[in-house]
Amino acid sequence: MDLGCGYGIFAHLLALSSPAREVIGLDMDPARIRVAQEAARGRKNVSFACVDLKDPEFPLPSCRAITLIDLLHHVPFQDQEGLILRCAQALQPGGLLLIKEISSFDDRDKR
């Protein structure tokens, strides 16, 4: 599952790299989801849905892996821990949670 998938670039990569893999991309921007869905037309192992990931009532489906690629900086700080906990709860035993985030840290800041 790719949370905050945007146009679905990473979700498409995951789906194309393994036809046996089922990939779900979720994002709150309907225009981006439409683009992702259009690009997925005809492929059965990738799907996309428009959801508000900050909504604690939205149940994340059980899965083997969850990616959050450049998503957390869009989530209010007070909601980040809850989203990460929900991800951990949705993971199957031995599952993988991959978080990649933009950083403004620069080695020059150490001076």
Tens place of pLDDT per residue across the chain (111 aa):
999 999 999 999 999 999 999 999 999 999 999 999 999 999 999 999 999 988 888 889 999 999 999 999 888 889 899 999 999 999 999 999 999 998 765 555 554
pTM: 0.87
User: Tens of pLDDT along 44-68?
Assistant: 999 999 999 888 888 899 999 999 9
Dist CA 41 CA 85 (whole Å) = 32
Q: Is residue 75 part of a domain?
A: yes
Q: What is the CATH number of the domain that holds 21?
A: 3.40.50.150
Judge whether 110 lies within some domain.
Answer: no
Specify the pLDDT at position 56. Answer: 83
pLDDT reported for residue 55: 86
Nearest to 70 by CA among 102, 97, 27: 102
Domain residue limits at 32: 2-102
If one counts the domains in the chain, the total is 1
Asked if residue 111 is part of any domain, the answer here is no
DSSP state of 82: H
